[in-house]
Amino acid sequence: MEQIDLAIELAKRGEFWPAIHLYEEAWLRAEQKGDAKTQFNALNGLSNVANLLNSPAMARACLLKAWALAELIGDRRMLSAVAYNLAGLEFRRHNYEQARLWLRQCREIAEELEGGAKELAYSYHGMAVLHEELGELEEALECLQQGLEVTEQVGDIEQSFRGALLSTQGSLLIKLGRYREAVPVLAEALNLLEEAEVYLISPLLNLAEAHFKLGEEEAARQCYQRASSIIKRLKEAAEPDFLLRLREVGRMLGRGGEESREGRA
């Protein structure tokens, strides 16, 4: 597991190709030893990095191998995790109905599991992201609230996952024009995601927008500049959506004046 732990740390810092090398090495060694759990963790990690590199074919191949492995050893918890990740993959390919089906499977498996609260929280997060993409913002907020309530029941929930839930909640509040509510939500998300630099970009840019709409232009610029510096460090590994959002917020900050007063009061 040392190789996988190191790969996780490298991926958090945006060093994706060294992370891939370590994951592949861990997978091959585990395969030789017949260590199914480590094989699964390596495949799952590979799929996550492939997604960050915008390589859906690689991610899908890893996830399908992980699904077959989980079925072979009869591990329902592993199946739930793969269903969640396959939903995310289909979502990024705009196959929304297929994503919904995988999320439904993720939730059904989670509800069958003893102590499946963590897996259930993941399914709520996935459904929230899907609702958001389809413009169903209130439904998305409801799913997020359910997910956050579930995480409070789980002692070993990753801080980064709760941070992801809060980041999505902040994004929704921005879209609904609820800027003042969004600020503390996004600030908490940043605290929880601090160790994974690549995941700070979205909440930073959303927080920049919230501050700007509230007339807090200096705070907005600080968030924008921090996000910009992270994207520059990631270089070609930065997702295209991040670059688009960076330009959008940059144009907003460049306008100043009346738009900054929209969200006041």
**Cα dihedral 15, 16, 20, 26 sign:** positive
Predicted pLDDT at 262: 40
Residues whose CB falls within 8 Å of the CB of residue 70, separated by 6 or more in sequence, listed in order: 40, 76, 78, 79, 82
1-74 architecture in CATH? Alpha Horseshoe (1.25)
Predicted pLDDT at 237: 56
Residue 76 burial (C-beta neighbours within 10 Å; 0-12, 13-18, 19+): middle
Stretch (H or E) spanning 110: helix 96-112
CA dist., res. 35 & res. 12, Å (int): 25
Residue 78 burial (C-beta neighbours within 10 Å; 0-12, 13-18, 19+): buried
Question: Does residue 167 contact residue 193 with C-beta atoms inside 8 Å?
Answer: yes
Residue environment code for 150-186, b if the CB has 16+ CB neighbours within 10 A, otherwise e: bbeebeebeebbbbbbbbbbbbbbbeeebbeebbebb
Predicted pLDDT at 67: 94
pLDDT tens string 63-102: 999 999 999 889 999 999 999 999 999 998 899 999 999 9
- Give the residue extent of every domain in the chain: 1-74
265 residues of the chain, pLDDT tens digit each? 588 989 988 888 888 889 999 999 999 999 999 898 899 999 999 998 998 888 889 999 999 999 999 998 899 999 999 999 999 999 988 999 999 999 999 999 999 998 888 899 999 999 999 999 999 999 999 999 999 998 887 766 788 889 999 999 999 999 999 999 999 999 999 999 987 788 899 999 999 999 999 999 999 999 999 999 998 887 655 567 788 888 999 999 985 433 433 433 3
- Amino acid type, 24: E
